[in-house]
Amino acid sequence: MKNSSKELAAALRQLGWTVFLAADDIAPKPGKVGWSAAIDHARDRSRVLVTIVYSPSMHREDAEAVTFELTLDDYRALQAHVCRPVRRPSLSQHLLLGLPGGVVVGVAALVLGSHKSFFAGLLIGFVLVIAFSLVAARRARAATDPQPNGSILCRQEYWLSDEGLRHRTPYWEGVTRWGGLVRVDETERHLFLMIDRAAAYTIPKSAFTSSAHAASFVERVRARLGASTAAS
């Protein structure tokens, strides 16, 4: 198929067309810094863009690349992962949180009413404080969630290169050197490429074509991390 592409390009050139082949005529090469920008530049200046698709390319798994839409659930999965050493409040802690409020409301009810009012006020105050704390926690969480179709919750592309982990969205593009990655954490549904204790690139496993594809990607990332550590 590569020869067929070259033959087609040669035939078009004989007819007077200016032709480029992405693999041969674009510098830098795929995976290198500036490659995607060079492709975009060439595409924008082209009158016609021809894409040749053949059967093997439709079924090939690229073990060093993955593309997906990052969702709010994926984003929150990272939050839960990095916060897992912090235990959730226990029942006794919730009780201790609500008790002072219940006592305050109960005492106020006792001053203004009777002993029965005290116990009713104690219960009401306790429930109100617990409800307020839960609502406040949910509001705080919602306030820190990224906006839909923004620079985080959007289409994400990751691929491996000699320089490092390359990543691109519709709004930004960059590369993280292999020395900047700490480790790869894996859960049932996600891969977290950790760049610090509480920061990571999140990749849902559903983005891969198969479990073998995901395993191969992880293996290749860890191999490059190991090589980077050995070199340093």
- List the domain range (segments joined by +) for residue 225: 65-83+149-231
Given a cut of 70, is residue 91 above it in pLDDT? Answer: no
Residues 153, 78 share a domain: yes
Residues 42, 71 share a domain: no
Which has more confidence, 53 or 184? 184
Residues 211, 116 share a domain: no
Question: Structurally, how many domains does the chain consist of?
Answer: 3
Residues 158, 103 share a domain: no
Residue 57 is predicted with a pLDDT of 45
The pTM score is 0.57
Grade residue 162 by pLDDT with cuts at 50, 70 and 90. Answer: confident
Which has more confidence, 118 or 74? 74
CATH of the domain at 169: 2.30.29
Residues 165, 209 share a domain: yes
Grade residue 158 by pLDDT with cuts at 50, 70 and 90. Answer: very high
Residues 108, 51 share a domain: no
DSSP per position, the chain:
-HHHHHHHHHHHHHTT-----HHHH-SS-TTSTTHHHHHHHHHHT-S-------HHHHH---TTEEEEE--HHHHHHHHHHHTTTSPPPPHHHHHHHHHHHHHHHHHHHHHHS-HHHHHHHHHHHHHHHHHHHHHHHHHHHHHHSPPBTSSSBSEEEEEE-SSEEEEE-SS-EEEEEGGG--EEEE-SSEEEEEEETTEEEEEEGGGSSSHHHHHHHHHHHHHHHHHHHHH-
